[in-house]
């Protein structure tokens, strides 16, 4: 569910935040061939969850070059740029 269009490099802080919201991304789920994420992994996140994490001070860095253009419908371009790993 949601628009998974924000490519991010997950952090321990973000993984703990999203787990506290009921979405545990760090635990493997073999049934779905999901290995679980660890800090430093890159993953396409739900734009609404990334924005929620931003508002809570737990947003992970964004890989702007791999983030879908429609992300600006959920998050301002300035906010994305401020958290971008690849924006000069």
Q: What is the residue range of 41's domain?
A: 4-82
Give the total number of structural domains in the chain: 1
Spatial distance between the Cα atoms of 87 and 47, rounded to a whole number of angstroms? 19
Does a structural domain hold residue 41?
Answer: yes
* Distance separating alpha carbons of residues 24 and 87, to the nearest angstrom: 29
User: How high is the mean pLDDT of the chain?
Assistant: 95
Cα 82 from Cα 78, distance rounded (Å):
6
Q: How confident is the model at residue 65 (pLDDT cuts 50, 70, 90)?
A: very high
* Residue 88 pLDDT > 80: no
61 DSSP assignment: P
Q: pLDDT-derived band of residue 2, with 50, 70 and 90 as boundaries?
A: confident
Residue 64 lies in a domain: yes
For position 46, which CATH number holds?
Answer: 3.30.56.110
Asked if the structure places residue 10 within a domain, the reply is: yes
């Amino acid at each position: 569910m949601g628009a998974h269009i924000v490519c991010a490099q997950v952090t321990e802080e973000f993984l703990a935040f999203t787990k506290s919201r009921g979405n545990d991304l760090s635990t493997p789920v073999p049934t779905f061939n999901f290995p679980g994420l660890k800090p430093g992994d890159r993953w396409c996140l739900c734009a609404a969850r990334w924005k929620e994490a931003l508002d809570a001070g737990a947003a992970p860095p964004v890989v702007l070059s791999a983030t879908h253009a429609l992300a600006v419908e959920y998050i301002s371009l300035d906010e994305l740029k401020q958290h971008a790993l690849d924006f000069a």
